[in-house]
Chain A
Amino acid sequence: MTSSTVSGATAGSRSHRSRVIGRLAFLGPGLAYLIVFLLIPLGMVLSYTLFRRGRFGGVVYEATGENFTRLLDPLYLDVVIGSLKLAGLATLIALLVGYPTAYLIAQLPRKWKTIALVAIVLPFWTNFLVRIYAWIVLLSGPGLVNSALVKLGLVDKPLELLYNEGTIVTGLVYSYLPLMVLPLYAAIEKLDPQLREASANLGARPARTFMSVTLPLTLPGIVTGCLFVFVPSFGNFVIPELLGGGRSIMVGNLIRDQFLNARDWPFGATLSLALLAVLIVLLLLQAWSSRRA
């Protein structure tokens, strides 16, 4: 009733308001979810970095800066640097393995491309933990790999394949390789094959063509893929926990330990903040490189 009597003058603002309401109706659920379950908890965690730890966990609201000075303690700094190294190594290996794979898939006939891409994504359809446990079965003392090696007479006694940094890297590469291959595939597939032909036509050997044309033009894909692998690797705590023997080798474990074992929430929050800062810097780098390309 009221709406039908609205005068022409207010009709404009009314339609504007209804447009806003319309947008909110669509955005609302997602927005509410993000605010309640991401922004507020994140804000809480970040605020902990400024306070003292409670005796049995929790926070005592007394302002302090000691959490940040503690971050520079070699004990913890080494863990952060170690995590960077492991995640970086995993990313590099994933790139070296993933690029040729993606390149090959991009050259396949259309039908095979689809099949290959499905095969790449297939592991995601099984449970992550199950797959990691499968590695333990494979690599343990009496596991498949060792028993095969022993039977073949290549080694006298089972090797220590589990619970070292190499195992962690193996697990990280294994888990996140698809995240490397997909963006690389997208970038390579998009590349005009005539550019490679043009390069050859101008006298460039295949290797030169790759370095001067293919690689620079697929750089955005490389950066994206590296980010996709590095980000979850850097903060990971399940893989180092299961394959690394349970020591606090990576930041993820350290944070988990701070919250659950050491009951030092403020320092755990500070470590989380550090992790977040590193990842944000990487994201900005990626955004910059993809805009440039």
Chain B
Amino acid sequence: MLQITGVSRRFGEVTALSEVSLEIRPGEFFALLGPSGCGKTTLLRILAGFESPDSGAVTLDGADLLSLPAHRRPINLMFQSYALFPHMTVAKNVAYGLERERLPRAEIRERVEEVLAKVGLAAMAGRRPQQLSGGQRQRVALARAIVKRPRLLLLDEPLSALDKKVRAEMQLELKRLQHEVGITFVVVTHDQEEAMSLADRIAVFSAGRVEQVDEPVALYERPRTPFVAGFVGASNLFEGAAHDGGLDGGELGVLPGTGDLPEGTPALLSVRPERIRLEDFGVPDGEPSEEPAAETPEEPAEESPEKPVESAESPEPAEESPKEPTAESAESAEPVEDAVPEESAESAEKSLEEPAAESPEKSPEEPVESAEPAEDADPEESAESPEEPAESAEDTDPEEPAEGRGVLRGKVADVSFYGGVSHISVVVPGRPAPVLVATQGATRVRTGSAVALHWAADDGVLVPQ
């Protein structure tokens, strides 16, 4: 219904929009997403009639839009600052647009009441905007825009000024309203959360160009340009060339991924943090040779640990500061025993013994954790490989070679937990930026741990560079 064709706009030396073409469908909730200064606001202002493009065409239902002055366009805009008239009451603000249509007074009153009820502000009709909270002001702005029943409603950063709680509410409300009134919504935002949560389709802008237009999920899972891969959601990007369905990452070797790029094309491989599985070898303890056995098929160590396992991993109860215990456990066989207070050492041993017994049976099915204790119990084994996994690796290696193979090896630089998700950054030799890994729930991976990272080919997306 809204057709934007080859629209360009320059401000002096700056190109705000460059040959932008988009089609927005009737009844759609569409988002223009991009960092500030990417041209999305310019496009919005062109649609509203506050700016004119240097070239290009915009049609609404087939009729030329650009020749209409702003006040004659069937398009309403909800301003980011709301732009409520401070000298008018809420009701007057909402009625303003209808008065311009010279509707009968009774009808105006009726429609104002109706729309205020719809946004839950019927009781506030007589107030001035200054007497309202941010969320209420926004509802007034929304009511004022939709009361005109426009063909198209533009929303400029509709949620950005609201605090988190009100945001979530308003988000639902916007969707509900859009459903109810059946108006096509176009929202402009730099906030991907806002765009992803609201829109049916999103156009990602960068430097005045449309990078990709897609549904939120597609945008996230199949970014088609490096910019989109980097901008939408957190992502690990690896540079290299397409190779045999994956990416030849040079120093990093061949990384699994999918994408139909010709062999050798320069490409980026995008891997989402939550798609990476992490294999924990614990903290190497002075002994640099973590390598050897590393192939333990650890499930992400973060997974909710079972009790016996926990105690096994770190000889001492969880209260202990994270680093020490792991260090101990690593060493446990050799020097640790001395270092650790007897009690804890004992308890460690005890706890180790139990799981150790189980471990052989469990190891195939269960997470690595069970394997680890086994090592701890046996001094010799741990001696072989600096860490617990070494041993289990030996055991399990033959059984699950493919799964256990880490694509990348590195060291945990930082672990943080928020939003119910653990965020782990792993420094991988040969890559300047750390690799980000996200896992549900609290993790047991410690800073300094040696880890292996792997992911399925489906989880890596090749993006042409």
Q: Which residue of B lies closest to A206 (CB)?
A: B71
- What does the 1/0 interface line of A193-213 toward B look like (CB < 8 Å)? 011011111111110110011
Q: Which residue of B lies closest to A217 (CB)?
A: B87
CB of A194 within 8 A of CB of B49, answer no
Contacts of B76 in A (CB 8 A): 201-202
- What does the 1/0 interface line of A250-293 toward B look like (CB < 8 Å)? 00000000000000000000000000000000000000000001
Q: Contacts A192-B81, A204-B100, A208-B100: A197 and B70 contacting too (C-beta < 8 A)?
A: yes
Query: For the complex, is B166 an interface residue (Cβ under 8 Å from A)?
Result: no
Query: For the complex, is B83 an interface residue (Cβ under 8 Å from A)?
Result: yes
Complex Cα distance, B97 from A195, in Å, reads 13
Q: Contacts A208-B100, A212-B96: A200 and B71 contacting too (C-beta < 8 A)?
A: yes
Complex Cα distance, B120 from A159, in Å, reads 70
Query: For the complex, is A216 an interface residue (Cβ under 8 Å from B)?
Result: yes
Question: Among the listed A195, A203, A212, which residue makes an inter-chain contact with B83, where contact means beta carbons less than 8 Å apart?
Answer: A195
CB of B100 within 8 A of CB of A201, answer no
Residues of B59-81 contacting chain A, CB below 8 A: 69-72, 75-77, 79, 81
CB of B83 within 8 A of CB of A192, answer yes
Q: Contacts A197-B48, A197-B50: A204 and B71 contacting too (C-beta < 8 A)?
A: yes
Complex Cα distance, B79 from A201, in Å, reads 10
Query: For the complex, is B148 an interface residue (Cβ under 8 Å from A)?
Result: yes
Q: Contacts A194-B79, A212-B96: A201 and B48 contacting too (C-beta < 8 A)?
A: yes
CB of A203 within 8 A of CB of B87, answer no
Contacts of A202 in B (CB 8 A): 71, 76, 96-97, 100, 144, 148
- What does the 1/0 interface line of B25-68 toward A look like (CB < 8 Å)? 00000000000000000000000111000000000000000000
A195 CB to nearest chain B CB (Å): 5
- What does the 1/0 interface line of B293-319 toward A look like (CB < 8 Å)? 000000000000000000000000000
B411 CB to nearest chain A CB (Å): 51
Q: Which residue of B lies closest to A203 (CB)?
A: B100
Complex Cα distance, B384 from A277, in Å, reads 103
CB of B100 within 8 A of CB of A194, answer no
Complex Cα distance, B71 from A197, in Å, reads 9
Question: Among the listed A199, A200, A293, which residue makes an inter-chain contact with B49, where contact means beta carbons less than 8 Å apart?
Answer: A200
Q: Contacts A200-B71, A201-B70, A208-B100: A293 and B87 contacting too (C-beta < 8 A)?
A: yes
**Residues of A in contact, count (CB < 8 Å):** 20
CB of B71 within 8 A of CB of A201, answer yes
CB of B83 within 8 A of CB of A194, answer yes
Question: Among the listed B72, B79, B87, which residue makes an inter-chain contact with A198, where contact means beta carbons less than 8 Å apart?
Answer: B79
Query: For the complex, is B85 an interface residue (Cβ under 8 Å from A)?
Result: yes
A75 CB to nearest chain B CB (Å): 45
A209 CB to nearest chain B CB (Å): 8
Complex Cα distance, B70 from A209, in Å, reads 12
B105 CB to nearest chain A CB (Å): 16
CB of A203 within 8 A of CB of B97, answer yes
Contacts of A197 in B (CB 8 A): 48, 50, 70, 77, 79, 83
Question: Among the listed A194, A205, A213, which residue makes an inter-chain contact with B71, where contact means beta carbons less than 8 Å apart?
Answer: A205
CB of B70 within 8 A of CB of A200, answer yes
Residues of A197-235 contacting chain B, CB below 8 A: 197-206, 208-209, 212-213, 216-217
Complex Cα distance, B96 from A89, in Å, reads 34
Query: For the complex, is B86 an interface residue (Cβ under 8 Å from A)?
Result: yes
Question: Among the listed A199, A203, A216, A293, which residue makes an inter-chain contact with B72, where contact means beta carbons less than 8 Å apart?
Answer: A203
- What does the 1/0 interface line of B132-171 toward A look like (CB < 8 Å)? 0000000000001000100000000000000000000000
Contacts of A216 in B (CB 8 A): 87
Query: For the complex, is B101 an interface residue (Cβ under 8 Å from A)?
Result: yes
Complex Cα distance, B97 from A205, in Å, reads 11
Complex Cα distance, B86 from A200, in Å, reads 16
Contacts of A200 in B (CB 8 A): 49-50, 69-71
Q: Which residue of B lies closest to A195 (CB)?
A: B83
Q: Contacts A203-B71, A203-B72, A205-B71: A198 and B101 contacting too (C-beta < 8 A)?
A: no
Contacts of B81 in A (CB 8 A): 192, 194
Contacts of B71 in A (CB 8 A): 200-206, 209
A52 CB to nearest chain B CB (Å): 53
Most chain-A Cβ atoms within 10 A of its Cβ — which of B72, B83, B96? Answer: B83
Most chain-B Cβ atoms within 10 A of its Cβ — which of A203, A204, A216, A217? Answer: A203
Contacts of B148 in A (CB 8 A): 202-203
Contacts of B72 in A (CB 8 A): 203
Contacts of B144 in A (CB 8 A): 202
Question: Among the listed A198, A201, A205, A208, which residue makes an inter-chain contact with B85, where contact means beta carbons less than 8 Å apart?
Answer: A198
Contacts of A206 in B (CB 8 A): 71
Contacts of B101 in A (CB 8 A): 203
Complex Cα distance, B128 from A293, in Å, reads 12
Contacts of B79 in A (CB 8 A): 194, 197-198
Complex Cα distance, B138 from A136, in Å, reads 60
Complex Cα distance, B72 from A122, in Å, reads 43
Complex Cα distance, B294 from A13, in Å, reads 78
Q: Which residue of A lies closest to B48 (CB)?
A: A201
- What does the 1/0 interface line of B325-341 toward A look like (CB < 8 Å)? 00000000000000000
Complex Cα distance, B227 from A86, in Å, reads 69
B211 CB to nearest chain A CB (Å): 28
Sorted nearest first, the 4 A-B pairs with minimum C-beta distance are A202-B97, A203-B100, A198-B83, A194-B83
Could you jot down 15 A-B contacts, CB within 8 Å? A195-B85, A197-B48, A197-B79, A198-B83, A201-B49, A201-B76, A203-B148, A204-B71, A204-B100, A206-B71, A208-B100, A213-B85, A217-B85, A217-B86, A217-B87
**Which B positions have Cβ atoms within 8 angstroms of A?**
48-50, 69-72, 75-77, 79, 81, 83-87, 96-97, 100-101, 144, 148
Known contacts A192-B81, A201-B48, A203-B100; 13 further A-B pairs (Cβ under 8 A): A195-B85, A197-B70, A198-B79, A200-B70, A201-B71, A202-B71, A202-B96, A202-B100, A203-B101, A204-B96, A206-B71, A209-B71, A217-B86
